[in-house]
Amino acid sequence: MKKLWIVSLVCLVTAFVLTACERPPKVEASSELAVKRNPDLHGELTKIDPQNMTIVMRVYNGMEQTVRLKPTTNIVTPEGAPPAKRNKRAAKRPKLNSANMMMQPLLGWEGSEITVPWVDDQGMKLATAVIVDKR
Residue type, 82: P
pLDDT tens per residue across span 68-84 = 998 888 888 887 666 55
Give dist(CA 26, CA 19) in Å, integer. 17
Instruction: Write down the pLDDT at residue 69.
Output: 92
pLDDT tens per residue across span 90-134 = 445 556 566 567 788 888 888 889 999 999 888 889 999 999 986
Taking each continuous run of H as one helix and of E as one strand, the counts in the chain are 3, 8
pTM of the model: 0.62
Domains assigned to the chain: 2-33 (no CATH), 41-132 (2.40.50.320)
Instruction: Write down the pLDDT at residue 22.
Output: 65
Confidence of residue 57 (pLDDT cuts 50, 70, 90): very high
More confident residue, 47 or 25: 47
Instruction: Write down the pLDDT at residue 86.
Output: 44
